[in-house]
Structure 1
Amino acid sequence: MSETPPGNLLLALQNPELYNHPVDGFQIIETHISQVILTGQYAYKIKKPMNFGFLDFSTLAHRKHFCEEELRLNRRLAEPLYLDVLPITGTPQQPVIGGEGEPFEYVLKMRQFRQDQLFDHLQETDALKPELLCSLARQVAAFHDNLEPIPDDKPLGTPEAVYDAMQENFDQIRPMIDDNHLLRQLDNLEAWTRTTFERHRELIAKRRKSGSVRECHGDLHLANITVYDGKVTVFDCIEFNEPFRWIDVINDLAFLLMDLESRREPALANLILNTYLEYRDDFEALPLLPLYKAYRALVRAKIALFTLSNPVLAEQEKEELMQRYRNYAQLAEDYSHIPNPYLLATVGLSASGKTCVSAVMAGELGLIRLRSDVERKRLHGLAPLEDSQSPTGENLYSAEANEKTYDRLAKLASDLLAAGLPVIADSACLKVRERALFASVAESQGVPFALIHCEAPEELRKAWIRERKSDASEATEALLEAQKGWFEPLTAEESTYTAHLHTDQEHVAEAVADRIRQHFGLPPG
């Protein structure tokens, strides 16, 4: 049997005299597992005495433990928000928060934040700015990097556990739908999941063995991210179920990407992914993304069906939930489509707009972006924004370092293309040898290839260099001068597969993205 706290406790807690701080008024937020009392400056969260199997708050000891877990886990990313676990003593009619005596309940004390700063609200009001997402991606990358890998003796994150979680979706969804079209779709998704999992079983096992399974957030989506005190803050991770959070880091990220894509924000999802990869060298994980994103979409689809069983719902609410199921199931099906990889590579002198163009094109076309400025520093143990203090043509920019950088870009591009992912290499490619390297990669993988030649007036390029900040590029005006003698003009053959962009003109990247779609026979954006 579960312990049930008295029903009048919530009412009794709405007394300003119980709190050691000013109270602006009371507002209650209720979910199926908790109740949150908003007071203006602080929020107090009480766990309901529920047992759903995957979640057990049925005893006071369990609720205390999971309040403490919620505090511990969320302080990793949101320390300013998560303050303390406090006992509730006294009686349900006259409770005391943080008092002496035998507790009959526990409450998690948090700082209250503005609801209109939640990322889901910002997205719905077209206020989710790219700089917020870049900050989020960097934060998630650092978070994943700093987590301890799963101990060998902890039986979580294995290929079997990964597949069981995916199979559970199908087993639970199937009895809740009776539409033949939806059942056929579910059967096809189940078959695709099984064959895709088997194809990647060894990679899943390898990543666990190499430490990629970690104690992650587990519930990384827009409604659990806010701007607090001017900083992007991720909160409300999974505290109640270890298998839900001891997962591959790319599975953690997949939820955020899927959430953005379900909201028809593929360019923002692409920005998150490429920024994350700049700060975390985890290109190896990318073949698993479609599988994990489809899994996350089907979890959301399943929740819609679970909610549909509520007997008090109106007909319109039921129709909306059924449509939500269809939307998520369709998104999962979209992830199962056969990929159409191709390779693009930029060409141009420093500060000619290559980075801006490649970023826009990556968002427009869903490309993985490889940046020479980032990978060059990674080869030397530097973060993207660290200053190498290398003179022009020396150290990181010597001929030897340059060759190693292009070899790395080519190797990464080859691996990603082999996994079915389209790629854009953002680099100067001033030498015929460097451009030929990418052409040979595309040829060996049997995919289309194009060069994107970026040009801009010299004075404008100098101005852009002077204005540039918070970027991996270390180009200087001295480098611009030196590059004039390094650039080897495009050959006649190269010109046949080169698009020329004058980057001082507006919307050129979007225009060339449309040309690429048409040239390679891609679906419209």
Structure 2
Amino acid sequence: MSQTLINALQNPALYPHPVDGFQLIETHISWVLLTGEYAYKVKKPMNFGFLDFTGLDQRQHFCNEELRLNQRLTEGLYLEVLPITGSVEAPQLGGDGAPIEYALKMRQFPQGQMLSTLQANGELHTGHIDQMARQIAEFHLQAPKVSPEHPLGTPESVMAPVEQNFEQIRPFLTDKADLQQLDNLQAWARSSFERLHGLLETRKANGFIRECHGDIHLGNATLIDGKVVIFDCIEFNEPFRLTDVYADVGFLAMDLEDRGLKCLARRFISQYLELTGDYAGLELLNFYKAYRALVRAKVALFSLPADAEGVQRATTLRTYRNYANLAESYSAIPSRLLAITHGVSAVGKSHVAMRLVEALGAIRVRSDVERKRLFGAQQQQDAGQLATGVYDRDASVATY
């Protein structure tokens, strides 16, 4: 029935605006009709366990949630939810009568401006990543906090999907080396969880479990009018979205590293931390990056047909192993390094420090940023004086 409806919706007479033509993009959970100036997204009546769109009321609810949640990070992109009335063979957009379906209306943007496409073409640069760092930091700082009484965000709820990855991956593997690697990764995840348990409890109590995006990667970011816009957040599953902010951060960092962009991943992390000051949670980063890498490894295996053989199976296993190896890399103990730059103003200290961030994976901590975080800006009457106001001895001791 739904495919019949999608075919019937490809009629220019149904739309109150010019239609350049129709292009249909289909995913496992939705159809998106591109018309030129606008796009219309219709959810499939599917139940995958982690999402349930089987009922019309559910599809309406999640269309409204997708509109609400994505308007937090976008402006003028997600427009409205429209009822589809009439019949499957002769539908009307927003007409009278009982709705038979719902569509989310969005502003259409050029697919060639997706950051994943720019990266594939060698056109992604530091300015794009800096914009993403600032947007994500500001978004996380403003995102609603999940109540301490809410069951999500507890250490046990964080660990449950981590364990589920291993349970769901293992039946697909037969190679002894793959199974041994998976066992080692599971042992590392469990020991990391024990080590981080107290920090996870503290994060929950201190309000770092927030209504996040849940799916930040280069494939969900685009350029619109020259500005990076992050879209397509998770609306259909609260456990994917109500998470520690580091789950969001770790996803993008992992995605960049998977694409061979370690320098940009490191730059993103350091910029994000300067803006949020959330250094206390940094110990969680590799834990969440490994989790996200194994989710992608699992999804690759899920895409493998039961009767797959030869090239298809080898290709899928290669993808799985790439993500498993990436996850394993996060279990390595890093080398320790402290580098201190000093000198008069405007000699390039911050620039040199950022080069160390990108080359070595260091975290840049800038005294002027942390001083202002602690004490605010220097008062006008103390401007230009280094021993008064926010630059007096006590303030400097507290800063360093």
Common fold, TM-score beyond 0.5? yes
TM-score range, shorter chain: over 0.9
Equivalent of residue 56 in structure 1, options 52, 55, 66: 52
Matched residues, number: 399
Q: Give the equivalent residue in structure 2 for 1:228.
A: 224
Matched, 1:391 2:384: yes
Matched, 1:339 2:326: no
Q: Are the aligned partners of 1:390 and 1:396 in contact in 2 as well (CA < 8 Å)?
A: no
Query: How do 1:66-81 residues align onto structure 2 when only pairs under 5 Å count?
Result: 66-81=62-77
Equivalent of residue 277 in structure 1, options 270, 273, 279: 273
Q: Give the equivalent residue in structure 1 for 2:350.
A: 355
Q: Give the equivalent residue in structure 1 for 2:245.
A: 249
Q: Distance in 2 between matches of 1:54 and 1:62?
A: 14
Q: Distance in 2 between matches of 1:60 and 1:203?
A: 41
1:452-494 Cα deviation digits (max 9, x unpaired): xxxxxxxxxxxxxxxxxxxxxxxxxxxxxxxxxxxxxxxxxxx
Q: Give the equivalent residue in structure 2 for 1:517.
A: none
Q: Are the aligned partners of 1:388 and 1:396 in contact in 2 as well (CA < 8 Å)?
A: no
1:408-451 Cα deviation digits (max 9, x unpaired): xxxxxxxxxxxxxxxxxxxxxxxxxxxxxxxxxxxxxxxxxxxx
Q: Distance in 2 between matches of 1:146 and 1:387?
A: 29
Q: Give the equivalent residue in structure 1 for 2:360.
A: 365
Equivalent of residue 374 in structure 1, options 352, 369, 377: 369
Aligned letter for 1:369?
R
Query: How do 1:14-25 residues align onto structure 2 when only pairs under 5 Å count?
Result: 14-25=10-21
Q: Distance in 2 between matches of 1:6 and 1:110?
A: 20
Distance 1:131 1:388, change over 3 A: farther
Report deviation, 1:388: 10
Q: Give the equivalent residue in structure 1 for 2:314.
A: 319
1:98-120 Cα deviation digits (max 9, x unpaired): 11101111111000111111111
Q: Give the equivalent residue in structure 1 for 2:207.
A: 211
Q: Distance in 1 between matches of 2:258 and 2:161?
A: 21
Q: Distance in 2 between matches of 1:350 and 1:10?
A: 62
Report deviation, 1:318: 3.6
Query: How do 1:165-314 residues align onto structure 2 when only pairs under 5 Å count?
Result: 165-309=161-305
Which has the higher relative contact order, 1 or 2, with Cα contacts under 8 A spaced 6 or more apart? 2
Q: Give the equivalent residue in structure 1 for 2:397.
A: 403
SS of residue matched to 2:365: strand
Q: Distance in 1 between matches of 2:74 and 2:357?
A: 31
Q: What is the TM-score with the length of structure 1 in the denominator?
A: 0.74
Distance 1:164 1:398, change over 3 A: same
Report deviation, 1:346: 1.0
Q: Are the aligned partners of 1:308 and 1:321 in contact in 2 as well (CA < 8 Å)?
A: yes
Q: Give the equivalent residue in structure 1 for 2:122.
A: 126
Matched, 1:35 2:50: no
Q: Are the aligned partners of 2:376 and 2:390 in contact in 1 as well (CA < 8 Å)?
A: no
SS of residue matched to 1:45: strand
Report deviation, 1:381: 3.6
Q: Distance in 1 between matches of 2:85 and 2:135?
A: 38
% identical aligned pairs: 53
SS of residue matched to 2:277: coil
Matched, 1:329 2:324: yes
Q: Give the equivalent residue in structure 2 for 1:158.
A: 154
Q: Distance in 1 between matches of 2:154 and 2:181?
A: 27
Q: Give the equivalent residue in structure 1 for 2:137.
A: 141
Q: Distance in 2 between matches of 1:226 and 1:108?
A: 19
Q: Are the aligned partners of 2:8 and 2:91 in contact in 1 as well (CA < 8 Å)?
A: yes
Distance 1:278 1:6, change over 3 A: closer
SS of residue matched to 2:371: helix
Aligned letter for 1:372?
S
SS of residue matched to 1:173: helix
SS of residue matched to 1:236: coil
- Could you say what the CA RMSD is over the residues aligned between the two structures, in angstroms? 1.8
Distance 1:310 1:77, change over 3 A: farther
Aligned letter for 2:168?
Q
Show structure 1 runs of 4+ deviating over 4 A: 386-389
1:328-376 Cα deviation digits (max 9, x unpaired): 0000000001221121111322222211111011100000111112111
Report deviation, 1:189: 0.2
1:210-235 Cα deviation digits (max 9, x unpaired): 10001100001110011112221110
Q: Are the aligned partners of 1:158 and 1:204 in contact in 2 as well (CA < 8 Å)?
A: yes
Q: Are the aligned partners of 2:2 and 2:44 in contact in 1 as well (CA < 8 Å)?
A: no
Q: What is the TM-score with the length of structure 2 in the denominator?
A: 0.96
Q: Distance in 2 between matches of 1:79 and 1:314?
A: 46
Distance 1:317 1:121, change over 3 A: farther
Aligned letter for 1:62?
Q
SS of residue matched to 1:14: coil
Q: Distance in 1 between matches of 2:213 and 2:54?
A: 23
Aligned letter for 1:368?
I
Q: Are the aligned partners of 1:308 and 1:322 in contact in 2 as well (CA < 8 Å)?
A: no
Q: Distance in 2 between matches of 1:318 and 1:98?
A: 46
Report deviation, 1:84: 0.6
Q: Are the aligned partners of 2:73 and 2:229 in contact in 1 as well (CA < 8 Å)?
A: yes
Aligned letter for 2:80?
D
Report deviation, 1:389: 7.6
Q: Distance in 2 between matches of 1:382 and 1:305?
A: 53
Q: Are the aligned partners of 2:31 and 2:42 in contact in 1 as well (CA < 8 Å)?
A: yes
Aligned letter for 1:339?
P
